[in-house]
Structure 1
Amino acid sequence: MFIRNTWYVAAWSHEVEGAELFSRTIIGTPVLLYRKEGGEVVALMDRCCHRGAPLSVGRREGDCVRCMYHGLKFDSNGACVEAPAQERIPPQARVRQFPVVERCRWIWIWMGDPALADPATIPDTHWVDDPAWRSLPGYIHYDVNYLLICDNLLDFSHLPFVHPTTLGGGEDYAASQPKVERLEDGVRITRWTLDTEPPPFAKAVRAWPGKVDRWNIYDFTVPAVLRMDSGMAPTGTGAPEGVRVGAVEFRGCQALTPETENSTHYFFAHPHNFSLDQPDVTRSIHQAVVDAFDEDRDIVTAQHRNLTLDPGFRMMAFGIDAALSQFRWAVNKRIEEEGAAAARKSEATS
C-alpha cells in the first residue's frame, strides 16, 4: 500500500534530456517521462492502451510519442491522435497523464487524483539549486521496501557503527538522545552531540583544532522526504546557541520514491556552503555520502533478507525508535484516509 495523493521525486532533471524517452516505475506504475520540444516535462502512463506495450520503447514524433507495437500515436496529454488503418479513434483511447513539476533539479510527480495536485505543497529543497550552496546529484536503487530505509534515516544512532570511516564519528554520538517532535505530515528530529570527534568526512575537508559540537536537525515528511540542517563547529564556540563560528554547514536533501513493494528509488544531495570555489571539496563530500549510503544499503538489504525468512517476526521497540514509530503512524494515517475517501467516492457513484 502506498500514499498516492502526494508528490514523489520521479527523476533528476538531467535524467530526462533532449529527445530521449525515459521510463521509471513509481509505486508499482510504469511512467514515461520526456521533454516537449519547448523543454517542458511530460509524464504519461508507460503502457499503451491498446495491447499494453511500453511507450518508452516507442518513437518520438515532435511532442508526441508513437507506440512501436501497432503504431498508435499519443499526444502529450495522453490522447491517441492517430491509429494506422483506422480513421475513427475512440475517445477513450488514451493513456493517463500525470501532473509533473520541475523544481530545484528534481522532477516531482503526482500519482493520485490530479485535482488535488497543488505545487505549493512540494517540499522546499532550494539548496540543491542555490548558488550559495554546492552539491552533486546522487541516486541509489534499493531492492527493499522503502519503509525499511525510512527507519534507517529516522535513527542516526547507527552512524558510528555502520559508517565508522565515513559519516560516523565517535560512539558517543549514538548515546546522545534526539528530540523528536511530531509534525502534521511527519516528524522533526534534533540531535546534538557536544565535545565529540569530527567524523572522517569532515576531517577530509577541513583541519580541526580539536573536538566539535555536532548537530543534525531535520524534517522527515510524507511520503519520505528528508531535509536536514547539519554540521559542526569547534567545541565551545556557541553553536548550540545559534552562533556558528568556524562551522561547516550542510543542507541534506533526500527523497525515497517506492518503485514496488520491495524496491525503492533513492535521490539525494548534500549541499555545503563553504569552499564553494573548490570542486574537490564538493566531490570529496559527495563521495563520502555515496560510500556511506552504500553501507546503509548493505545493512538494510541484509536486514530485508533476514526479515523475509520469517514474515511473522515482530521487531522489538526500543526508546530510540520514537521517530520511526511516529513516522509510520503518519504514513498509515494517510493511507487509511485515502482508502476511506475512495470508499466514499465509490458509494456516491454506485
Structure 2
Amino acid sequence: MFIRNTWYVAGWDKEVGPSELFARTIIGIPVLMYRDAQGKVVALEDRCCHRGAPLSIGRREGDCVRCLYHGLKFDTGGRCVEAPAQQRIPPQAKVRTFPVVERHRWLWIWMGDAEAADPSLIPDTHWLDDPAWRSLDGYIHYDVNYLLIADNLLDFSHLPFVHPTTLGGSEDYASVQPQVERLEDGVRITRWTLGTEAPPFARQVKQWPGKVDRWNIYNFTLPAILVMDSGMAPAGTGAPEGHRVDAAEFRGCQALTPETEHSTHYFFAHPHNFAIDQPEVTRSIHESVVAAFAEDRDIITAQQRSLALEPDFKMIPFSIDAALSQFRWAVARRLEDEARQRAASPQAKVA
C-alpha cells in the first residue's frame, strides 16, 4: 500500500529522450513517458484501455502513441483519437494521465488526484543543476521494499560498519546520538561528530592537517526524499557555529520511489561545491557513493531475505531508531488519511 497524493521522482531528465518511449513502474502502476513536440514530458498509464497491452511497445505518431495490438491511437491527454475499423470511438476509451513536473533534472510525477497536484510541494534540489555545484547522476534498482531502504537512510550509525572504506570514517561516528526533530511530513536529523577522522572518500579528494568536525543535517520527508547538508572542516575551526573554514561541503539529494511492494527505484546525486573545475574530483566522489550504496543494497537485500523467512519477526527498537519510528509513523498517518478520504468520497481520484 502506497501514498498516492504526493510527488515521486519518476526519473532523470535524460532518461526521457526527444522521440523514444520510456516505461517505468511506479507504486505498482505501469507508466509510459515521452516528450511532445515542445519537449514537455507526457505521462500515461502504460496500459491500453482496450485489452491492456503496454503502450510502451507501441509507436510514436507525432505527439500521439499507437498501441500495436489493435491499433488504437491515444493523444497526450490519454484520449483514444483513432481506432481502426471503428466508426464510433466510445467516450470512455481513454487511458489515465499523470501530472509531471521537470525540475532541477528530476522528473516528478503525481500518482494520485491530479487536481491536488501542487508543484510548490516539490522539495528544493536546485544543487543538481546549480553551476556552483557539481555531481553525477545515480540510479540503483533494489529488489527490496522501500521502507527498509528508508530505515537505512534514517540511521547513519551504520556507516562505520557497512562502509569502512568509503563513507564510513572511524567507529566513534556510530556512538553519536543524533538530534531528531519531527516535521509535518517527516523528520529532520542533525548529527555532529567533532574531532574525528575524515572518511576515506573525502580523503581521496581533499587534504586536512588533522582531524575534522563532521556534520550530516538532513530532512527526510514523504514519500521518501532525503535532502542533506553534509561535510567536514578542520577540527576546532568553528563549523558547529557556522564557520565552515576550508570545508568540504556536499548537498546529498536522494529519492526512493517504490516500484512494487518488493522493489524500489533509488535516485541519487552528491553535489559538492569545491574543486568544481576538476571533473576527476566529481567522478571520485560519485564512484565512492556508488560503491557505498552497493554495500547498502547488499546488507538490506540480505536483511529482506532474512525477514521473509519469518514474517512475524518483531524488531527490537533501540534509541538510535527514533527517526525510523517517526518516519514510519508519518507514512502510516498519511495512508490512514488517504483511506479516510476514499471512504468519504468513493469517486475520489486517489484510488
- Deviation string, structure 1 residues 178-210 (Cα, Å, up to 9, x no partner): 000000000000000000000000000011210
2:52 matched residue in structure 1: 52
Alpha-carbon RMSD across the aligned residues, in angstroms, is 0.8
Q: Which residue of 2 aligns with 1:78?
A: 78
Q: Which amino acid aligns with 1:134?
A: R
Distance in structure 1 (CA, Å) of the matches to 2:191 and 2:87: 65
What is the alpha-carbon distance in structure 2 between the residues aligned to residue 206 and residue 276 of structure 1?
12
Deviations 1:192-245 (A, max 9, x none): 000000000000001121000000000000000000000000000000000000
Q: Indicate yes or no: 2:245 matched with 1:245.
A: yes
Question: 1:31 matched to which residue of 2?
Answer: 31
The 1:309/1:188 distance shift into structure 2, 3 A limit, reads same
Query: What runs of 5+ residues in structure 1 fail to find an aligned partner?
Result: none
Counterpart residue type for residue 245 of structure 1: V
2:345 match: secondary structure: helix
2: CA distance, partners of 1:266 / 1:239: 31
Any gaps of 5 or more consecutive residues in structure 2?
none
C-alpha distance in 2, partners of 1:289/1:77? 39
User: Residue 25 of structure 1 aligns to which amino acid in structure 2?
Assistant: T
Change (3 A) 1:167 1:347: closer
- C-alpha separation between the residues in 1 aligned to 2:206 and 2:256? 30
Question: Are 2:95 and 1:95 aligned?
Answer: yes
2:194 match? 194
Which SS does the other structure have where 1:346 is aligned?
coil
Residue 304 (structure 1) aligns with: 304
Q: Residue 68 of structure 1 corresponds to which residue in structure 2?
A: 68
Query: Residue 140 of structure 1: SS of its match in structure 2?
Result: strand
Show CA shifts across 1:158-194 (max 9, x none).
Answer: 0000000000000000001100000000000000000
* Separation (CA, whole Å) in 2 of partners of 1:108 and 1:88: 36
The amino acid across from 1:302 in the alignment is: A
Give the Cα separation in 2 of the matches to 1:346 and 1:96: 18
Q: Aligned equivalents of 1:133 and 1:28: distance in 2?
A: 35
Map 1:321-336 to 2 at 5 A: 321-336=321-336
Q: Deviating runs (4+, > 2 A) in structure 1? A: none
* Structure 1 position 346, deviation (Å): 2.1
Aligned to 2:137: 137
Give the alignment of 1:1-350 within 5 angstroms: 1-346=1-346
TM-score by length of 2: 0.98
Distance across 2 between alignment mates of 1:244 and 1:307: 43
Cα distance in 2 between the residues matched to 1:236 and 1:320:
26
C-alpha separation in 2, matches of 1:320 and 1:110: 33
Look up the equivalent residue of 2:245 and give its one-letter code.
V
For 1:191 and 1:92, the matched residues in 2 are separated by 54
Distance in 2 of aligned mates of 1:2 and 1:51: 26
Cα distance in 2 between the residues matched to 1:141 and 1:161: 23
**Percent of aligned positions with the same letter in both sequences?**
77
CA distance, structure 2, for counterparts of residue 8 and residue 41 of structure 1:
15
**Residue type of the partner of 1:80?**
C
Separation of aligned partners in 2, 1:144 and 1:53: 27
Report Cα offsets for 1:43-84 as digits up to 9, x if no partner.
000000000000000000000000000000000000000000
Shift of 1:347: 8.8
